[in-house]
Structure 1
Amino acid sequence: MKTLHSAVIVFAHGSRDARWREPVEAVARRMAELSPEVAVACAYLELVTPDLPTAVERLVADGARAVHVVPLFLGVGKHVREDLPRLVDELRARHQDVDFSLAPAVGETPEVVDLLARIALRT
């Protein structure tokens, strides 16, 4: 297995419906196509595996020394505002030699807002 230096985790809520994962995993596959040098993994808050600690453990075991967590949430509710930062803080404490960063929820970025508006306006 090749040694990783940086990794990105696409983090989503989770659902009991197996089809719910498909767009999340499609985003991760596209990211891997766009940047093959960066390891990309999916992780979920609940109802689906792997959870965030498990995804991080795998990436760190493969050599990741920087992990960027990208929440695939449209808005900033309790999960993004409180639960996710707490989870990342716990991971920082457990993996002190790994640089963790946390992106804003994708739904709050101007690019996603613009794209969603354009899609909604299609006729």
Structure 2
Amino acid sequence: MNAPLVAVAHGSRDPRSAATIRGLLDVVRSVRPELDVRTAFLDLSAPALGDVLDAVHSDGHGSAVVVPLLLGHAYHASVDIPTAVSEAQERNPLFRVRTAEVLGPDQRLREAAWRRLLQTGADPDDERLGVVLAGAGSAHPPANRLVADVAETWQRHTAWAGAVAAFAAAADPDVPAAVERLRAAGARRFAVASWFLAPGRLPDRALERARESAPSPLLAETMGADRGIADLVLSRYDAALETPGQQPRLSRVG
């Protein structure tokens, strides 16, 4: 019997967020219907990760694989998930839990964000277009660097006036500052791409600031229930199963 896949997302008070995550996992199930796929959240949404792991154990499974639905490796991946996993294993000492890598960096994330952006009508050959790639922002610099790397790659491979990463919280630049940077580079039309998996407070903040800063910007949807991301979730699951002796590690991230 395959170990259940427990996909854990951040969680949000916005009901659209959990609905989007569940939609993504429906795609995962459609790709691999024989796999037991369960949904969990770290905060603000139910069910909690620890409760889902307890349920998997109660259902008679001896193991599970936790796949973080996180775009980068920061505090949630380094502290919150390992803590919940360790506590679940203390409650159920014979239950083995493997933790997969976070989703990013990966080409399939970049492709999903790109597809959503093109759906707005953004033209890669538009020399007057400035694109803001909006992400959540983190106190962990490598997570922000990942978003900036994607924006820089887009700029190199398009005719745009520029592409700049911006953050809704915890990091600079914010969306208005990114728009001003693009305007100084010659942009006269603007688009906002989404480095978010699901809707919620931070994506809404980024879009609101874009509307305040730019005239009629093109606004991309979150990556959501994308087949490429579903494939990525499954590849993280498979890789965790293939890693011998893998155990979660708890570390502190500022």
TM-score normalised by length of structure 1: 0.83
Where structure 1 has 5 or more consecutive residues not aligned to the other structure, the ranges are: none
The higher relative CO (CA closer than 8 Å, separation ≥ 6) is in 1
2:11 aligned with 1:8:
no
1:83 maps to a residue whose letter is: D
SS in 2 for 1:106: coil
Alpha-carbon contact 1:9-1:42 (below 8 Å) kept:
yes
2:51 aligned with 1:54:
yes
| Percent identity over paired residues | 28
Q: Deviations over 1:14-56 (max 9, x none)?
A: 1111111122101221222222222111111111110011111
Partner residue of 1:100? 97
In structure 2, distance between residues paired with 1:32 and 1:97 = 27
Alpha-carbon contact 2:54-2:88 (below 8 Å) kept:
no
Partner residue of 1:89? 86
SS in 1 for 2:104: helix
Partner residue of 2:14? 17
Of 14, 26, 31, the match for 1:29: 26
1:89 maps to a residue whose letter is: S
RMSD: 2.0
2:75 aligned with 1:78:
yes
2:108 maps to a residue whose letter is: E
2:31 aligned with 1:64:
no
Report the alpha carbon displacement of residue 114 of structure 1 after superposing the two structures with TM: 4.1
Where structure 2 has 5 or more consecutive residues not aligned to the other structure, the ranges are: 122-254
2:113 aligned with 1:116:
yes
Compare CA radii of gyration and give the structure with the larger one.
2
Distance 1:101 1:61, change over 3 A: same
Q: How many residues align?
A: 120
In structure 2, distance between residues paired with 1:81 and 1:121 = 33
Q: Deviations over 1:54-83 (max 9, x none)?
A: 111222222222211111111222111211
TM-score normalised by length of structure 2: 0.43
SS in 1 for 2:29: helix
Runs of 4+ in structure 1 deviating by more than 4 angstroms, as ranges, are none
SS in 1 for 2:4: strand
